[in-house]
A and B are shown apart, each in its own frame.
Chain A
């Protein structure tokens, strides 16, 4: 089966601009998660979708971040406006249940 696909793989934007990251989960996986690692820190949970519903967005850092999963398929994570501290690697993962998690390769976001 195809894995979790994320794009772009890299994005460099200026402070104040908007960036949208996309994640295509494995087909049939109802659960979708976003994680991120910012410089020097550990990988942290951002949010969890079950189909199109947000189950837990407790890890979202602030209201500049907006995640959507229309139709319960792919998901987008928008950062608007981007700040320097948003730089890092954003990972998406999906699972059929809550046991096996497959991660994508991540999007490296650099805000300058």
Chain B
């Protein structure tokens, strides 16, 4: 069965420092991987996705993520965090070999302090 794990409920970083939000996945075949962000009282906004090709994916608002097949990970990163990046981040996976729908992780709350 497909699954996604976000091992950290909350990540705290100082403004200007690099940030990483972790995601690991489990699928039977090759995955399609997605990152979404949710600001308070809003819907989810798409950040980036990995389908195939280059393992480093660049997305919206300066975010990027690296697909690592051997570690089954897809960590979200940003070189320099902003206070406005504070939000809830969700990783999601879809198994390429099935007609499955998106499976979401439980979310990681990112807090960026000035």
Q: Specify whether A and B are partners.
A: no
Chain A residues engaging chain B, CB cutoff 8 angstroms: none
